[in-house]
């Protein structure tokens, strides 16, 4: 019971923190991290010696009911072109039993490395590896995700971001896939140029194998915006929808978040 109260408090803290804007003090609006607000990363790491904290809250509509999710991620540029990340994603969601319960989620620890900047006709390439500790409800085994990222400009200032994922579920139950490949094609486009320089439109289309062997893969489309709201802070908002995905499908997901560098 005590633990549950603690977890709920933590979740609420994340939600409140994500909504509290501080205009006085951005992570660059043009620098894209997964979850803020869509699912893809660009190939840029945070700067060497930079720290950033990113909060998010989401409301989603699965097959039935409404789920609430939060997220918090800390990033640290520990070396040139590389950063470490720690993230957790608590949620208040309906379980298979039908009851809605709080779940503190797995804690993720990741490392990101950018291999090169974009030059000539060569895209910028990066690799991100994450390990997810089984801290969430009914979670077992350490899961992994490997993500290869390529970013390239098209049409002047627009960028395409290709993310290739391999998710490894080490605690897979019967009927669940142990490895789930995925692919996301992201797009970003500055809005307002040449009179404003603080807003970026983002969009994505992605496909990933379903966690359940018996069900179709999940196709997700999304659109969002990142708006710089302070010298070191960015507010983001996005809408995602799973077009396919069987029982895992979320018809609609609305995401809002706040990132701050320091």
Q: Considering the rule CB under 8 A, would residue 151 count as an interface residue with other proteins?
A: no
Q: Considering the rule CB under 8 A, would residue 167 count as an interface residue with other proteins?
A: no
| Shortest spacing between CB 88 and other proteins, in angstroms | 24
Nearer to other proteins, 182 or 190 (CB): 190
Q: Considering the rule CB under 8 A, would residue 157 count as an interface residue with other proteins?
A: yes
Q: Measuring CA to CA, which residue among 250, 176, 182 is closest to residue 214?
A: 176
Position among 4, 9, 22, 116 found at the interface with other proteins (CB under 8 A): 116
Q: Distances in Å between the alpha carbon of 63 and those of 137, 163, 212?
A: 21, 27, 16
How far is it, in rounded angstroms, from Cα 143 to Cα 209? 16
Close Cβ partners of 148 (under 8 Å, ≥ 6 residues apart): 125, 126, 127, 163, 164
How far is it, in rounded angstroms, from Cα 206 to Cα 185? 6
Kindly identify the residues of this chain, within the stretch 87-106, that bind other proteins according to CB under 8 A.
Answer: none
Q: Which stretch binds other proteins (CB under 8 A): 3-11, 103-111, 118-126, 179-187?
A: 118-126
* Residue count of the chain: 262
Nearer to other proteins, 157 or 173 (CB): 157
Position among 44, 60, 180, 210 found at the interface with other proteins (CB under 8 A): 44
Close Cβ partners of 185 (under 8 Å, ≥ 6 residues apart): 40, 160, 161, 162, 163, 204, 205, 206
Q: Which residues pair with 162 in a beta bridge?
A: 150, 185
Q: How many CB atoms lie within 10 A of CB 180?
A: 19
Under 8 Å between Cβ of 149 and 155: no
| Shortest spacing between CB 113 and other proteins, in angstroms | 11
CA neighbours within 13 Å on the CB side: how many for 7? 20
Under 8 Å between Cβ of 237 and 46: no
Q: Considering the rule CB under 8 A, would residue 197 count as an interface residue with other proteins?
A: yes
> What is the per-residue binding string for other proteins in 1-40, x denoting contact by CB under 8 A?
------------------------xx-x-x----------
Q: Considering the rule CB under 8 A, would residue 79 count as an interface residue with other proteins?
A: no
Nearer to other proteins, 105 or 186 (CB): 186
Q: Which stretch binds other proteins (CB under 8 A): 54-62, 128-136, 150-158, 242-250?
A: 150-158
Nearer to other proteins, 47 or 239 (CB): 47
Q: Point out which residues bind other proteins (CB under 8 A).
A: 25-26, 28, 30, 44-50, 77, 80-81, 114, 116-120, 122, 124, 153, 156-157, 190, 193-198, 228, 230-232, 261
């Amino acid at each position: 019971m005590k633990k549950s109260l603690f977890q709920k408090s933590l979740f609420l803290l994340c939600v409140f923190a994500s909504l509290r804007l501080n205009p006085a003090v951005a992570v660059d609006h043009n620098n894209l991290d997964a979850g803020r607000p869509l699912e893809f990363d660009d190939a840029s790491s945070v700067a060497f010696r930079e720290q950033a904290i990113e909060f998010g809250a989401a409301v989603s509509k699965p097959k039935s009911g409404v789920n609430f999710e939060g997220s918090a991620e800390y990033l640290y540029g520990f070396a040139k072109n590389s950063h470490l990340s720690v993230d957790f994603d608590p949620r208040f969601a309906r379980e298979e039993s039908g009851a809605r319960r709080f779940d503190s989620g797995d804690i993720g620890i990741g490392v990101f490395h950018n291999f090169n900047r974009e030059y000539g006709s060569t895209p910028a390439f990066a690799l991100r590896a994450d390990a997810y500790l089984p801290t969430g409800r009914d979670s077992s085994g350490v899961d992994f995700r490997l993500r290869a990222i390529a970013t390239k400009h098209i049409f002047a200032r627009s960028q395409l971001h290709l993310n290739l994922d391999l998710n490894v579920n080490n605690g897979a139950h019967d009927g669940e896939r142990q490895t789930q490949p995925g692919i996301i094609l992201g797009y970003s486009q500055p809005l307002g140029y040449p009179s404003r320089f603080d807003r970026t439109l983002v969009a994505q289309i992605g496909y990933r194998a379903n966690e359940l062997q018996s069900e179709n893969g999940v196709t997700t489309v999304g659109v969002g915006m990142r708006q710089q709201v302070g010298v070191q802070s960015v507010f983001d908002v996005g809408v995602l929808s799973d077009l396919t995905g069987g029982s895992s499908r979320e018809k609609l997901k609305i995401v809002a978040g706040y990132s701050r560098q320091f």
